[in-house]
Amino acid sequence: MKPSDRIFVALDTTDLDRALALGRGLKGFIGGVKVGKEFFTALGPAGVGALGELGLPVFLDLKFHDIPATVAGAVRAALALKPFIINVHASGGAAMMRAAVEAADGPAPAFNKPLVVAVTVLTSLADEDLAATGVAGDAAAQVLRLAGLAKRSGLDGVVCSAHEAEALRAALGDDFKLVVPGIRPQWAAADDQKRIVTPAEAVAKGADYLVIGRPITAADDPADAARRIAAELDA
């Protein structure tokens, strides 16, 4: 794939006009856009559909997590929006994930099936948070455990941290998709002693798709920011 195809821009906004303006300006410089619960709760299917009409692939980041029948119904409903990627929580279990995959196959052979990926452990959860929920072992071990379950359940990949990507790629193979958020290009990295993973570093670790927000959306020239990131990936 082209370097720019790896870039999905996070549109974490409730302002549809702003989202559409960004989408129009970035079309041709990115692989697609990601919309999550904030966008979807405020703007609903109509908002997602408006983005889709721009011709931009959409990562519908709603993290479905419920009983298998309910998740299957949600996935079938989402197909009308023609998402490129949808996601579920791996902690919903194998039956739930299999139901999501079966629902995503669509009613007709010509249907362009979206990628179904799983969220393993939220980045806000530390080892002690997992222990409080009854999960033994550290977060890294739980990520590997749930990612393996997702693969065995037929999912296309997982959403993961760049710091987890290398181990997941080694354990789960080259065909398993890794969608990596929290990326900051080198020129946007703040000198605040936090570990920064650049787009090129994330891809070197095994990332297939990069979810990038403010370094592009808050830039004076978002299209130029996207071009610079693609150039980093192509270097």
Catalytic residues: 63
How many helices (H) and strands (E) are present in the chain, helices listed first?
10, 8
The one-letter amino acid code at 128 reads E
- Tokens found for residue 33: 């856009």
Q: Which residue's entry shows tokens 């960004």?
A: 22
Q: Is 156 exposed, middle or buried (0-12, 13-18, 19+ CB in 10 A)?
A: buried
Residue 11: C-alpha distances to residues 34, 106, 175, 212 (Å) = 6, 27, 27, 9
Q: Is 45 exposed, middle or buried (0-12, 13-18, 19+ CB in 10 A)?
A: middle
CB 69 within 8 A of CB 76: no
CB 139 within 8 A of CB 115: no
What phi, psi does 12 have (nearest 5°)?
Answer: -90, 75
User: Which residues have CB under 8 Å from 101's CB, separation 6+?
Assistant: 116, 153, 154, 155
The one-letter amino acid code at 149 reads L
What is the phi-psi region of residue 49: left when phi exceeds 0, alpha when psi lies from -120 to 50, beta otherwise? alpha
